[in-house]
Amino acid sequence: MIYLDYAATHPMTAEALAAYAQAAALPGNPASVHAAGQAARERLEEGRAHVAAAFGVDPRTVIANSGGTEGDNAVLLGVAREWQEAHGAPGHLITTPTEHSAVLAPARWLEARGWAVSWLKPDAHGRYSPQELEATLRPETALVSIHHANNELGTVQDTPALTAVAAARGVPYHSDAVQAPGVLAVNLADWGVTYATFSAHKWGGPRGVGFVYVRRGAQLPPVTFGGGQEGGTRPGTQDTAGVYAAGVALNGAEAEREATFAHLSGLRERFMGNISDIPGLRVNHPADGSPKVVSVTLPGADGEALLMNLDLLGVAASAGSACSAGTMQPSHVLSAIGLSAADARASLRFSFGRATTPDEIDQAAAALRQAAEWSRA
């Protein structure tokens, strides 16, 4: 199998697997005061420190959780709760139609309960302008939530420019940055975000582990209640092994990030060169986006048939976000940038990783050519 679905999940690295096994063998609860508990606490905090170092922030601003979906919900619903309690009425949220469903769903949930939600308009590649954000802000805007790197297109936002607009009006800014680490530089202080969310399995860590960054001085009220773990923001016994393995994986990914970026850029250029003459093929991803992602449309083909044919030919790709897989509904991201429902259904996403080889790229390109012929027959 040629695995080209790294945007869905990055296989755990050997170093992360070894770190997980080591930490999982520790018997203690990291909240316990005895020696076994403190040994677990040391591993937990070591993992957190690796994550904080990679993002250029203080470890005390990094909250461990189960991943991007929990983090996105915690930020949107936590900030909304705080605003509504302080003002006695629903506020205003600004977000975009190309967000991951983990942002779209809580935004729509709030909208159904009286919140005003403004959806910024993307350009043809899914970018958002600071000028439009400035024009959309209101006195009652409680939060701006815009992803950094898009999971289906690879489009990278100018996050510092966007956060500067929000900051000038005193509005908190959240970035779903799940797709950035290991490929793109992540310096949260330079970005100027109030909140950022991450999933470890996107950089070779374990699934079911993630992090929320909360800038010093900002508040994030809990949306779940229990013990005092993670400063009371995310109660519940922490996954010591998962957090430690996530930190080890990110430490390795960050050390190789520049080489990875160059490697993926070469792979994407090679892949596009190999498939550019497929009849009718259209490119959706921007040339200056994350080199991990390729998005193409093959008009007249059926996306489900394309995926099945690629799978038969030994290539794992996707039709969009894995979190929406199985529905075969048109991608909301591709629809938002102007593709028709038929073209969105005829689109595929390929995403590469550090372990992807040029030979695999050549084989995958040949498989796509064959799959397109079968799907259009």
Amino acid at 313: L
Give ranges for CATH 3.40.640.10 in the chain.
14-251
Its sign, for the CA torsion 230, 235, 241, 243, is: negative
Closest CA to 159 of 138, 180, 135: 180
| Phi, psi of 213, deg, nearest 5 | -90, 130
Tell me which fold the domain 2-9+257-375 belongs to. Aspartate Aminotransferase, domain 1 (3.90.1150)
At residue 3, the pLDDT reads 98
pTM of the model: 0.96
192 catalytically annotated = no
Residue 283 main-chain phi, psi, to 5 deg: -100, 130
Where, residue-wise, is CATH 3.90.1150.10 in the chain?
2-9+257-375
Low-confidence ranges of the chain (pLDDT < 70): 320-328
Give residue 327's pLDDT.
54
Residue 201: other Cβ atoms inside 10 A: 23
> What tens digit of pLDDT does each residue of 291-347 get?
999 999 999 998 889 999 999 999 999 986 555 555 567 899 999 999 999 999 999
Choosing from 323, 324, 370, 374, the catalytic residue is 323
Predicted confidence at residue 62, as pLDDT, reads 98
Looking at residue 376, its pLDDT comes to: 82
Architecture of domain 14-251: 3-Layer(aba) Sandwich (3.40)
pLDDT of residue 320: 64
pLDDT digits (tens, 9 = 90+) for 82-123: 999 999 999 999 999 999 999 999 999 999 999 999 999 999
Taking the CA atoms of residue 265, residue 271, residue 273 and residue 276 in that order, the dihedral angle to the nearest 10 degrees is -130
Sign of CA dihedral 354, 356, 358, 362: negative
Secondary element (H or E) of residue 210: strand 210-214
The one-letter amino acid code at 126 reads G
What pLDDT does residue 326 have?
Answer: 53
Say what the pLDDT of residue 279 is.
Answer: 94
What span, in angstroms and rounded, lies between the C-alpha atoms of 201 and 208? 8
